[in-house]
Amino acid sequence: MKEKGLKREQAATELNLSPETVKRHLSEAMQVIRAYCVSHLGMQATLLLIKELL
């Protein structure tokens, strides 16, 4: 989604999903990414990565 520069609503349309479904999946993905980064990289590196993703 970010790679193509799409907003959540645009991605939902392209994927034929509701915007809420896209929002939920993005939220779940971010939780998994955060947990992985914290356990493998430490908190400071995680905060830097999360800042870049947003």
What does pTM read for this prediction? 0.65
* Greatest Cα-to-Cα distance within the chain, rounded to the nearest angstrom: 37
Stronger pLDDT, 8 or 42, i.e. the higher one:
8
Cα angle value 50/19/2 (rounded, 5°): 40
Cα angle value 4/46/9 (rounded, 5°): 30
- CB within 8 A of 20, min separation 6: which ones? none
At 49 the pLDDT is: 74
Q: Model confidence at 1, in pLDDT bands (50, 70, 90)?
A: low
Tell me the pLDDT tens digit for each residue of 4-38: 778 888 989 999 999 999 999 989 998 898 888 77
